[in-house]
Amino acid sequence: MSNMFSITNIKNRFISVIAPDIPPLPSSHSHQLHRGNISGAPSNYQLRMAHQQKKPDKFAYARPPFLQLLTIDELRASADHNVRPIIVPRDITLLPWGTGYAECVNSGKSEWNEDQAAFARQVLSDPTHSHPDLPYTYYGIFDGHAGYGAALAASHQFHHILHEKLVDCLELLLPRDEDAANSKQDSSFPHPSHFQRRVSKDELIIGALESAFFNMDALIAQDRDRYRDAGGCTACVALFINGKLFVANAGDSRAVLSQRKSKCIEKNNATTGAITNADNGTGAQEVFAVPFSFDHTPETERLRLLTVARLKPHLMEKQYAAMEYAKRPHMKDLGQRILCRQGTMKGWTYKTLTRDDLRMPVVTGEGKRSRLLGTLGVTRGFGDHDLLAINTGTQIKPFLTPHPEVVIRDLSKIVSIPDENNEDGDYGILVMATDGLWDVSENDAVARTVFQTLDKYPTEKHRYTMVAQELVARARGKINDSGHWRLADSKAAATVDDISVIVIPVYQYYKEHVEWEKRCAQVLQERRAKVTQSATEACEDESLLVNGVTKAQVEVEHDDAEEEEEVVVEVNRQQAQATVELEEDASQKAESSGQTDPLSAHQSAEKDVKDLIEHELSAAISALDATESSEDDKKEAKESSVTTPEKTYKAQQPQQQQQHQHHRNRNRKDKR
């Protein structure tokens, strides 16, 4: 919202030139001046606001934690309005998948950078461990206005609210056996006992996002009793879950997926492949941008705003008109015909101008300059509960909504041919940024910059950080001798607003998801096998033998697998022993099942499975963390597979767990 408070912005800029170093201020200056502008507003309101300003901040001002700007000195230096340094994480491993981030402060319109960014990695897990866990990753970007409080609160709290919402429908989201059976019929599942209609997982996640947006807004409203008024902010949130990308947006921040078509065709046509590979990489036709959010400005939301005005005319307090005029009407035009559109009309018509028509339209201006009640340039987001319109003091909040629009991409449907090495192009790079970027950069230009920069740094770990930095650098431009920020290439005005950019390599998430899926499928398979095994105990011998071999071989792996001959002997010996042991086990089980009815046997089996899954998942998660060490595991497993060809190395860990489980079962039964 670069030009929301243009007058006060200028004022601030003048002050900034001569002001000595001052302490960090809790509230943006423009906020207070803005309040003071309200002419004719009841003075008790101003008193309330004065009281409001004495309340503490809910969160101390800070930049996103992954930037590690820990001291007030660093914070101050990063907010240098004359230089506008581009800040990137000093430790790029703090963000998953090599995700890039860069930001830059405004040129002086507010003391602090009022944008905020956040990310979180979480796991949805069933307290009873009857289903495998479901991990997810969240990124959020929030553009504050009229103070930094709302954006700061959202960056601290939104992901907690979202997590609660997801946990609410946990049992419907977690992967389960039925999914495998019904995998052909989409991921939706009929639950006639719970729902009148089929509700898909996607709809549940969309619902979680939507309700989290509403709750965040309500929380900011509640906090006004105890904390300083937070102002407002936009919210653009990306959620990576279940192999899908969800982008929820409220406001004029934007998420755009930068994609690039595969280069294979050119490669095939070219006689000298190496050369075309290098310079066709950034060809304009190949690169394209797919919008993943819609801006919510008075202009784009005209229909909704005028519907609100029409249905609740009292909100306009007889100060505004649900009308739009082709040209601004004046007193002298009274009684004349004037071109206008009334309410939610799309086309234009003539009407005779009356005195009431001289009121200010609910929506004025076009494009980035469009305003709601002549004041606000953004129509969805969090906060703004106390925001009053300039000059009239009319409440603005009833026209606003935190309701996000959600866009989904199912990443499993994307085809990417490994030989083409175009994963970043096929899956796309998700660029989430505040309007500081989008005000001066077209989506397609951003997409081109993304791939140009990636080509420049083909292997660097920080390549996505470089993309974010480059995007911010271009939008910020350079300051000229007269102190104006200009774009480097066109000399047009650069953005004077705060700029924040997140650059997410979507394929890196998908890779992680595929790994998780494999583990998950395996867990479910194990579980099924276990259930069958326990339920049909009479014909157990064969499977037990298999388990016996497995056990022996698991123990082999604990030994030094280098001496193969010894290993074989060991296996044989242990195999024999294990078979004996397990036969005993089986007979014991048969005994116990003789005493109890089949249902309870089944229940105990299910309990075993729960324990089993609990173990396996903890193993799977630790394996996720240590993907590097898995290389060694694979090697080891290959060596051992010489002696036991039945086993694949992927099954190694769970089988080991299963054996432990077996021992435990036996112990339990012994106790009985």
Binding site for another protein (CB under 8 A): 12-13, 15-27, 29, 32, 56-57, 60-61, 69, 71-88, 90-92, 102, 108, 110-111, 456-457, 462, 465-466, 469, 473, 478-479
| Residue whose CB is less far from another protein, 58 or 163 | 58
| C-alpha to C-alpha distance for 563 and 372, rounded to whole angstroms | 78
| C-alpha to C-alpha distance for 616 and 651, rounded to whole angstroms | 11
Compute the least distance from the CB of residue 502 to another protein, in Å.
15
Compute the least distance from the CB of residue 168 to another protein, in Å.
35
Compute the least distance from the CB of residue 85 to another protein, in Å.
5
Q: Which helix (H) or strand (E) holds 305?
A: helix 302-311
Q: Is 264 helix (H, G, I), strand (E, B) or coil?
A: helix
Compute the least distance from the CB of residue 47 to another protein, in Å.
17
CB 63 within 8 A of CB 87: yes
Neighbours of 381 (CB within 10 A): 33
Compute the least distance from the CB of residue 145 to another protein, in Å.
16
| Residue whose CB is less far from another protein, 147 or 232 | 147
* Nearest by Cα to 88 from 112, 64, 111: 64
Compute the least distance from the CB of residue 416 to another protein, in Å.
28
Specify the residue for token string 């990308």.
Answer: 245
> To the nearest 10°, the Cα dihedral for 524, 529, 535, 540?
-170
| Residue whose CB is less far from another protein, 208 or 502 | 502
| Residue whose CB is less far from another protein, 181 or 488 | 488
First to last CA, the chain: 70
Compute the least distance from the CB of residue 137 to another protein, in Å.
22
Cα 281–Cα 282–Cα 288 angle in degrees, nearest 5? 115
Compute the least distance from the CB of residue 53 to another protein, in Å.
8
Compute the least distance from the CB of residue 68 to another protein, in Å.
9
Specify the residue for token string 């029409």.
Answer: 310
DSSP 385-427: TT-B-TTT--B-GGG-B-PPEEEEEEGGG----GGGT-HHHHH
Q: Which helix (H) or strand (E) holds 450?
A: helix 443-456
| Residue whose CB is less far from another protein, 226 or 355 | 226
| Residue whose CB is less far from another protein, 456 or 528 | 456
DSSP 309-367: HHH-GGGGTTTEESEEESS---GGGTTSEEEEEETT-SS-EEEE--GGGGSEESEES-G
| Residue whose CB is less far from another protein, 16 or 421 | 16
| Residue whose CB is less far from another protein, 27 or 242 | 27
Q: Is 100 helix (H, G, I), strand (E, B) or coil?
A: strand
Compute the least distance from the CB of residue 442 to another protein, in Å.
22
| Residue whose CB is less far from another protein, 69 or 446 | 69
CB 208 within 8 A of CB 166: yes
| Residue whose CB is less far from another protein, 12 or 661 | 12
* Nearest by Cα to 289 from 252, 259, 262, 249: 259
